[in-house]
Amino acid sequence: MERLVLLLVRVASWLFTTCYLTNDFENPNFRERLRETVESLLDLKVVPVFNENDAISTRKAPYEDSSGIFWDNDSLAGLLAIELKADLLVLLSDVDGLYSGPPSEPQSKIIHTYIKEKHHSEITFGDKSRVGRGGMTAKVKAAFVASNSGTPVVITSGFASQSILRVLQGEKIGTLFHKDASLWEPSKDVSAREMAVAARECSRRLQNLSSDERKKILLDVADALEANEDLIRAENEADVLAAQDAGYEKSLVARLTLKPGKIASLAKSIRTLAHMEDPINQILKRTEVAENLVLEKTSCPLGVLLIVFESRPDALVQIASLAIRSGNGLLLKGGKEAMRSNTILHKVITDALPGSVGKRLIGLVTSRDEIADLLKLDDVIDLVIPRGSNKLVSQIKASTKIPVLGHADGVCHVYIDKSADMDIAKRIVMDAKIDYPAACNAMETLLVHKDLIKSPGLDDILISLKTEGVSIYGGPVAHEVLSIPKADSFHHEYSSMACTVEFVDDVQSAIDHIHRYGSAHTDCIVTTDSKVAETFLRQVDSAAVFHNASTRFSDGARFGLGAEVGISTGRIHARGPVGVEGLLTTRWIMRGSGQVVNGDKDVAYTHKNLPLQ
């Protein structure tokens, strides 16, 4: 019953209203009485509501020169906050907060933390200001006064759901004013956004260099890495020691460690990249549209990439060199366990960039930016490439509108047809499962033609798997026939020394099974019947489909693509193992001599393919 009573008191307390004259605040006695009254009311759990009285408020005196005068509820709120030493003042507006320009302009962005030194020149106030609302001007002025006196202020929308509660819970909505804001780290969102914008500008300059100049940058980066090997190794050792001290898993520590020779091998692969054919500004197609009107489709960088990677500092080097090669700007977000390694690698690489491009081509996001905040920057980042666990990839895919290049699942199948050469089948199955069981291109499910049930060849394969330590689970049929434990699900990536086995009626049921339960990554058929093989190769709708070759070949380096960006199971843009071309888009360039469309009445279209020069 006590709870109810308390509730009732609170409910009854909402509507206590008082009014003040505009210049009351200049009177010290008044201010003292006000403070005492409000404190007493609050002790009684009564929430007072204050309101400015339009009829008697003055609008003539300038606010700045008379801190004891208010002429609207915003200035009243600011004065009250100071007087009552409020912990926080929340000003509710009809927009989400303070914008850098009129909210209708696409380049206007909400300012999450107002920093006077930074934002004051950006924003002008008043009726014709870029901010555009008189109401906002009053709120910002009230926020200056209150925050400078020690009460932090948040301006946010009064229309958004539960905005006051969300501010109290520390959610980053609206615009925060705090007297120490300029001493803080750069505000999260602003800094990552600025890094992305700067990376795009640098990438445009990079794209403008000659092919030889871009090549030289890569060679300089390779030299710089080797020249700074001791420094890099020292920082990496510090990370490794810290990770060991913190009791991180052994596998993480292993991934974190730059092994001896790693710097040299990274430098070597960068030099290989430097000497490959320049992928950008290539003419992919040339068409004579009409006389003296020539159209070219050319390759160009995507723009700005965001790479989210875990542990491996070598990924930073690989990705940075791929970005330089493809003319892209880059934001890197590494794991905090590799912070020192990433910082030194980033410094060495960006120090090697020429002034004509600018160090900000590659940004290392080291502030407390959360991945979730970076993933909101879909207007300034063109592609996200997650390098890490399936969980990381899935989370990123689920929480961004930026296109993601990668794959969450790798449920790869090997299907042994009745016509298979069982020696080949054994070799492929063993390699596909055992060569690197945690790889995304490792076999997770072995499908076997039903005619091979209890055949010596299949028994040999199953025994070999078990001998190597592979746990075998069965689908409904195999579970019965082979008396093995039942698999929980056919759509399961063990990523370890385990696999599922199931029998199917024929190649068509194998294909159906793969379509139903697979992840469209890499699937393989083992058969000597070329007609059956072609059926499988033609029908299986996965990024990579193999005949008589291990699924482990599904890899950029093994495919001969040079450096690998990742493996994509998406169907848009790039699919399967992706090399530099996954970081490119195209541009149409047309050179004319004054041609106009004019209802297509005058132009004699020829649409002739021209040689690519």
Interface residues for a copy of itself in 412-431 (CB under 8 A)? Answer: 421, 423-424, 427-428, 430-431
Under the binding rule (CB under 8 A), the answer on residue 594 touching a copy of itself is yes
CA dihedral 144, 145, 149, 154 (to 10 degrees): -50
Tell me which stretch binds a copy of itself (CB under 8 A): 265-273, 332-340, 472-480, 554-562: 554-562
- Nearest-approach distance from CB 108 to a copy of itself, in angstroms: 10
563 is a contact residue toward a copy of itself (CB under 8 A): no
Q: Binding of a copy of itself at residue 66 (CB under 8 A)?
A: no
Determine the angle formed by the axes of helices 211-227 and 313-326, rounding to 10 degrees: 160
Report if residue 479 touches a copy of itself, rule: CB under 8 A.
Answer: no
Q: Does 543 engage in binding with a copy of itself (CB under 8 A)? A: yes
Interface with a copy of itself (CB under 8 A), residue from 291, 605, 610, 612: 605
- The correct pick among 552, 565, 566, 580 for binding a copy of itself (CB under 8 A) is 552
User: Are 86 and 80 contacting, i.e. CB atoms less than 8 angstroms apart?
Assistant: yes
Site string for a copy of itself, 101-140 (x = CB under 8 A): -x-xxxx---------------------------------
Closest contact distance (angstroms) between CB of 459 and a copy of itself is: 20
583 binds a copy of itself (CB under 8 A): no
Tokens standing for residue 125: 């106030």
| Residue placing its CB nearer to a copy of itself in the complex, 141 or 573 | 573
Task: Pick between residue 139 and residue 575 the one whose CB is nearest to a copy of itself.
Answer: 575
Chain positions 270 to 329 lying near a copy of itself, rule: CB under 8 A, are 281, 287, 289, 293, 295, 300, 302-303
Does 553 bind a copy of itself (CB under 8 A)? Our answer is yes
Residues 365-394 that bind a copy of itself (CB under 8 A): 382-383
Distance CA 301, CA 206 (A): 10
Residues 504-523 that bind a copy of itself (CB under 8 A): 515-517
Give 145 or 196: the residue with its C-beta nearer to a copy of itself.
Answer: 196
DSSP at 282:
-
559 touches a copy of itself (CB under 8 A)? yes
Closest to a copy of itself by CB, 316 vs 322, is: 322
The answer to whether 192 touches 368, Cβ cutoff 8 Å, is no
Q: Is 19 in the site for a copy of itself (CB under 8 A)?
A: no
* Residue 477 touches a copy of itself, criterion: CB under 8 A: no
Place of tokens 């106009």: 596
In angstroms, the CA 557 to CA 264 distance is 18
Tell me how far apart the alpha carbons of residues 607 and 613 are, in angstroms, rounded to a whole number: 17
| Sheet containing strand 362-364, strands side by side | 362-364, 329-333, 304-309, 383-387
b/e map of 133-150 (b: 16 or more CB within 10 Å)? beebbbbbbbbbbbbeee
Closest CB to a copy of itself among residues 29, 613: 613
Site for a copy of itself in 166-225 (CB under 8 A): 204, 207-208
What does each C-alpha distance from 363 to 66, 67, 306, 345, 564 come to in angstroms?
46, 44, 9, 12, 21
Q: Which stretch binds a copy of itself (CB under 8 A): 7-15, 247-255, 347-355, 461-469?
A: 7-15
Q: Which of 600, 604, 611, 613 binds a copy of itself (CB under 8 A)?
A: 600
How many angstroms separate the CA atoms of 282 and 584, rounded?
11
Q: Does 336 bind a copy of itself (CB under 8 A)?
A: no
Binder of a copy of itself out of 198, 575, 579, 580 (CB under 8 A) = 575
Q: Binding a copy of itself by CB under 8 A: which of 598, 604, 611, 613?
A: 598
Q: Taking CB under 8 A as the rule, does residue 165 contact a copy of itself?
A: no
Instruction: Give CA–CA dist 594/292, Å, rounded.
Output: 9
Question: Which runs of E-coded beta strand occur in 215-336?
Answer: 283-290, 293-301, 304-309, 329-333
Chosen residue from 96, 194, 435, 460 binding a copy of itself by CB under 8 A: 435
25-28-30 Cα angle (round to 5): 65
Binding segment for a copy of itself (CB under 8 A), chosen from 98-106, 244-252, 332-340, 345-353, is 98-106
597 part of the interface to a copy of itself, by CB under 8 A: yes
Hey, what are 455's tokens?
Answer: 């055949």
Applying CB under 8 A, the span of 151-159, 318-326, 346-354, 544-552 interacting with a copy of itself comes to: 544-552
User: Which one among 12, 231, 234, 438 touches a copy of itself, defined by CB under 8 A?
Assistant: 12
Element (H, E) at 223: helix 211-227
Nearer to a copy of itself by Cβ, of 12 and 612: the residue is 12
> What is the DSSP code (8-state) at residue 24?
G
Angle (CA) 95 99 102, round 5°: 85
Give the count of residues interacting with a copy of itself (CB under 8 A).
84
Counting Cα atoms < 13 Å in the Cβ hemisphere of 17 gives 5
The C-alpha atoms of residue 153 and residue 178 are separated, in whole angstroms, by 7
Residue with tokens 């507006």: 93
**How many other C-beta atoms lie within 10 A of the C-beta of residue 456?**
9
Angle between helix 339-351 and 229-245 (nearest 10): 160
Residue 148 CB, nearest distance to a copy of itself (Å)? 33
| Of 22, 142, 138, the residue nearest 82 (C-alpha) | 142
Nearer to a copy of itself, 233 or 547 (CB): 547
Closer to a copy of itself by Cβ: residue 100 or 343: 100
Comparing CB distances to a copy of itself, the nearer of 28 and 594 is 594
